[in-house]
Structure 1
């Protein structure tokens, strides 16, 4: 008889495998616990995090709480209070409904649960370590629930090694916290990281919640949007085109108070902004969509950030039209109006005033047909200076006589001429007259070399030059800076401010001098000599956008990323005219670099064309 090779997995192993689907990183735990608190009808939720969630994640709420039985049962797999039948999956009004979150979290961490219902005198205190119940006691507790998750992945070292740096993991926690806080402005949210308060968001309306999350300057960027149809209700805000950024960090779709990502609907927004944005820029939007629950399927993605709509094409058209309408209604987009001209409107100050006749001065003695007495011919000096008023001649024929005689006088003046050499081009004059470099289409610099000619891409070459300069300055920490007469103030969101503070030592090494002036702005008093004051905001925006996508793991990667981003932002752009001296300086600086062949992003900076290749073009 053959032995069986298929066995049932023990519960603790099954829970660890399930945890891999539910809990990828600390931010996953934050999402699950905060959503449970919202489902418990909490009005005050506090999130406490240490070491980006690796050491501690605690969510405290004032919700309904749980009974003793529910407190024990919630850690079992597929245990949920949200659904009863499979049909309920298509009529969801809650967040967490899988019944696996708490079981998965308890399988890979030390969990401490404190909960109490309002009508009960005493609450329940449970401690679990790796799916094993350690203690369960009765305790005096306030109404609500406190989930404390310590030492994430303590029993799976391999998973813990895959976690990124604290900066990266904290950024993901910021993302989850922001998404939930923006979806529920009626709830008081607090976020504390390593003992310092990062967010304090009191209960408010949608607009005030957006401003509290992204900083005070956000208010002037927002344009309200509102549309209601039979299949969808749209509300929220879109950003003015002039405040568009390189990054997509301020783009939020909420469907029935749940954050989602949807490329199709994003395309509808972009098409509405068509012609209003600079190339590569992304608009901000905070859109709250309300649809009947049975018209969407939430359960198509493990993280529930993607949903499937019944009629996506109709939603696309409605959303695009609503955005265009708001942009036009609030005079953000240009509008063509052929019926009236605003320049013809009467100002309010002149509306009731009488129209006065204009004052006209007329010379009554002026007669254009009166003959004038001929005068002597004007001298050459008077004729040549152009400002002396010339007296009129007796007749029109005398004008030509004067002109002919004046020309004869001019011809009689002798000038000192240079001696004519016998050679057509003198060697010394040839060297001074002809430049060694030429600019083609304000994009390429051409220079002759012994074997043929060199064609240099001015943008990529300048990137290489600046990159090595910045990298040297950051490493040696000796960069020259130009002081600003008036400090420059820049505003950022909370997430971007945390990023700027981490980049501050590297940026100061390149020549920036700045300090923080609150939770959402910095004051810059000095900038590198390569940058103009008008470019500083663009440099910071592009730097944050580029490094947000690839957050470095160590200091060298951080320095390298800063140097690359700044070089790309500041380098001379295609279409910029360069003088002969600037061209020669660029060529000389390029070949003084350690790696002149490629740009910081591994693109070639120049190509060579040999004389033989040119000769082949002329052969028949």
Structure 2
């Protein structure tokens, strides 16, 4: 029997390894930026074309590589970061597995130029699909330039799985920001299709956060700092009033490495307990420094998940540190047993005695007594003269008789006309709608009753209205007396710019748009000014994974998001007129049976069904 197990060729093994390391252009960006940081660079440039599909290039002024290192770095499991297995538990660098460059070179055209500081000449290497095409000596600046072109050129199936340029660009920016925020002491620049997207000079952590997310971010930040034997924590959290529906600006860094941790996120949410509105998320930028031997980084190919030795202690320390910071900066409510100075006696009256009232009452005075006191016990009150009291009633009897005489009153009568409707129609008009538990609307009909879900029904009504407005492009707008200025991060502004045409078709009027804010001078008719910020945040959260390519799908996504934000919520009391409008509006829709999210809007219960229930 012939052998059926055989060793894979190196180029096939590299392509398989690339499936774990390189999933999209953003994965290449992450690996190359981390290598540049490990090379002790102080200035790093990232150049992108066509959302990384055509070109991903990283240029740094780091240590550079010798001729031997330049050739050896493309081999599998070749790394300068570790020497033995024990080194995995004392890592201070980013890349250490030694598969990134080999995997990238297996699925793209790679061109590397590098020169160490002590050498006069550098090395220029070209690789296409794991094959070395050329290696030359060249005059180069200090550092390394790594260009990855035509990603997945030899794996078309993987290339077909890539999303649109907008989606891939958002993933690249996310990976770029995760590295940039971890190293504020490095100057980073990002170019996309020839235009500068980010230019972040060397700064401290707070300035780096403000430079990325806009100047308005500075007033939202509350500093957090705590040092223990287990962990050292520093960073910032946002004030509760600036919380959002989306979870965009939430960052954990452990030993300058971005990680994802639902357990630590729960600790942050526990610190905000009682301070946030339902469904809102705080922003946080937290940097944790722990001893390297107490964590295990090598549990995930992308190294975004970490296992801690003592998670419970870390949870308690993080929660208490954030809670202390929120209370220290008067963000969280605290018990105050001190007296209120506003209740103190004013200074001018503090030492004065109370004045005696001028009017006094004689307690011994009896109006029915015949004896008159010889000397009254008061001096400020004078008894009225009652000697001629009979004269007060002269003529009163005659006036009373005149007023009580009967007066003839005439009323205007209305002529009763015949009814415009027959008795059956009048009976139908007297049917009332009922609201149950502020959630369902009950509408009696001839065969039984219809039970309508008020939230889903209103979503369907608004969805079809917005979709019609965007299709016909005849939406009405209400002009604001004072334009509304809303502040967003740079990524959110770019997303709004992509959606601007569709939003204008719904009734929004954008007066201007800058890098960190948008000025809105008009709103759709049924949108209140206080709801604009919530509506746009919900829209950005719903479209966080990317904007659909086709205009119809884009309009559909916007209409769904706006309908969900503006629809009446479960628990809202509706008067009889509002209930009637929702029921009538629902059955005037093209598809009243389901909500925009394909859930039933109403059910019908027949009298026969009720009879069966009672027959049991």
TM-score where L is the length of structure 1: 0.88
Cα offset, 1:587, TM superposition: 1.6
Which residue pairs with 2:334 in the alignment? 335
Moved more, 261-270 or 359-368: 359-368
**Displacement after TM superposition at 1:581 (Å):** 3.0
CA contact (8 A) 1:435 1:580 kept: no
Which of the residues 356, 360, 364 maps onto 2:359?
Answer: 364
Equivalence for 2:297:
298
Q: Is 2:598 aligned against 1:602? A: yes
> Separation in 2 of the partners of 1:206 and 1:107?
37
* Number of the residue aligned with 1:389: none
The aligned runs of 1:167-186 (5 Å cut-off) are 167-186=166-185
Give a deviation string over 1:378-408, Cα, whole Å, max 9, x none. xxxxxxxxxxxxxxxx9xxxxxxxxxx99x9
CA separation in 1, counterparts of 2:194 and 2:405?
90
Residue aligned with 2:267, SS:
helix
Question: Does 2:495 align with 1:499?
Answer: yes
Q: Is the 8 A contact 2:431 2:444 kept in 1?
A: no
Given the alignment of the two structures, is residue 319 of structure 1 paired with residue 326 of structure 2, yes or no?
no
Partners of 2:60 and 2:13 lie apart in 1 by 30
CA distance in 2, matches of 1:544, 1:518: 17
Query: Structure 1 residues 358 and 31 mapped into 2: Cα distance closer, same or farther (>3 Å)?
Result: farther
CA distance in 1, matches of 2:306, 2:104: 25
Offset at residue 583 of structure 1 (A): 2.4
Deviates further, 178-187 or 473-482? 473-482
Cα distance, 1:432 vs. partner?
9.8
**Structure 1 residue aligned with 2:217:** 218
Q: Could you tell me the TM-score, scaled by structure 2's length? A: 0.88
Q: What is the match of residue 23 of structure 2?
A: 24
Residue 165 (structure 2) aligns with: 166
| Structure-2 separation of matches of 1:358 and 1:189 | 73
1:434 aligns with 2:434: no
Pair 1:364–1:239, CA change in 2 (3 A):
same
Q: Deviations over 1:231-274 (max 9, x none)?
A: 11111011111111111111111000000111111111111111
Shift of 1:569: 0.5
Alignment of 1:237-316 (within 5 A): 237-316=236-315
The SS at the match of 2:483 is: strand
SS in structure 1 opposite 2:544? helix
**430-439 vs 103-112, which moves further:** 430-439
| Cross-structure match for 1:474 | 470
Q: Any idea what SS the aligned residue of 1:28 has?
A: helix
- 1:552-599 Cα distance to aligned partner (Å, 9 max, x none): 343322211100000011112233333333322222221111110111
Q: Following the alignment from structure 1 to structure 2, what is the Cα–Cα distance between the partners of residues 548 and 453?
A: 41
Aligned CA distance change for structure 1 residues 454 and 343 (closer, same or farther; 3 Å) = farther
Partner in structure 2 of residue 235 of structure 1: 234
8 Å Cα contact 1:232/1:291 also seen in 2: yes
C-alpha separation in 1, matches of 2:331 and 2:557:
36
Partner residue in 2 for 1:552 = 548
3-state SS, counterpart of residue 548 of structure 1? coil
The aligned counterpart of 2:381 is none
Q: What secondary structure does 1:163 align onto? A: coil
- Three-state SS of the structure 2 residue aligned to 1:47 is strand
**Take 2:367 and 2:470, find their aligned partners in 1: how far apart are those partners?**
81
- Give the 3-state SS of the residue equivalent to 1:588 in structure 2: helix
Contact (CA 8 Å) 1:186, 1:204: kept in 2 or not? yes
Greater mean alpha carbon deviation, residues 57-66 or residues 497-506: 497-506
Equivalent position of 2:120 in the other structure: 121
Structure 1 counterpart of 2:576, from 572, 580, 589: 580
Pick aligned residue for 2:514 from 505, 513, 518: 518
Return the offset for 1:444. Answer: 2.2
Structure-1 separation of matches of 2:96 and 2:343: 61
3-state SS of the aligned residue for 1:147?
A: strand
* Residue in structure 2 matched with residue 43 of structure 1 by the alignment: 42
**2-side partners of 1:231 and 1:99: how far apart?**
30
Query: Does structure 2 conserve the Cα–Cα contact (< 8 Å) formed by 1:164 and 1:553?
Result: no
For the pair 1:591 / 2:590, whether they are aligned, the reply is no
Q: Which residues of 2 match residues 369-384 of structure 1 at below 5 A?
A: none
TM-superposed CA distance for 1:617, in Å, is 4.9
Q: 1:209: how far off?
A: 0.7
How far apart are 1:356 and its partner, in Å? 6.7
Please provide the CA RMSD for this pair.
3.0
* Separation in structure 2 between the aligned mates of residue 545 and residue 615 of structure 1, nearest angstrom: 47
Distance 1:525 1:39 in 2: 48
Structure 2 counterpart of 1:401: none
How far is 1:409 from its partner?
6.9
8 Å CA contact 2:507–2:522 kept in 1: the answer is yes
- Does the 8 A contact of 1:489 with 1:521 survive in 2? yes
Partners of 2:21 and 2:322 in 1: CA distance:
35
Alpha-carbon distance, 1:522 to partner: 0.5
Match of 2:199 in 1: 200
Instruction: For residue 508 of structure 1, report the CA deviation from its aligned partner.
Output: 1.0
Structure 1 residues 354 and 452, CA gap change in structure 2 (3 angstroms): closer
Is residue 221–residue 237 contact of structure 2 (8 Å, CA) maintained in 1?
Answer: yes
Within 2, Cα distance between the matches of 1:540 and 1:317?
35
* Alignment counterpart, residue 560 of structure 2, candidates 549, 559, 564: 564
Deviation at 1:412, TM superposition (A): 9.4
Partner-residue secondary structure (3-state), 1:540:
helix
Q: Report the Cα distance in structure 2 between the residues aligned to 1:70 and 1:354, rounded to whole angstroms.
A: 87
Aligned to 2:374: none
| Contact 1:489–1:524 under 8 Å retained in 2 | yes
Larger radius of gyration: 2
1:200 Cα deviation after fit? 1.0
Aligned-partner Cα distance in 1 for 2:55–2:316: 45
What's the CA shift for 1:94?
0.4
Confirm or deny: 8 A CA contact 2:108 2:129 kept in the other structure.
Answer: yes
- SS of residue matched to 1:598: coil
Query: Which whole-Å CA distance do the structure 2 matches of 1:253 and 1:371 have between them?
Result: 87
Return the alpha-carbon distance in structure 2 between the equivalents of residues 24 and 369 of structure 1. 103
Q: Does the alignment pair 1:447 with 2:454?
A: no
CA deviation after TM superposition for structure 1 residue 613, in Å: 2.8
| Contact 2:222/2:326 (<8 A) preserved | yes
Question: Which structure 1 segments of 5+ residues have no match?
Answer: 374-393, 395-404
Q: Does 1:88 align with 2:83?
A: no
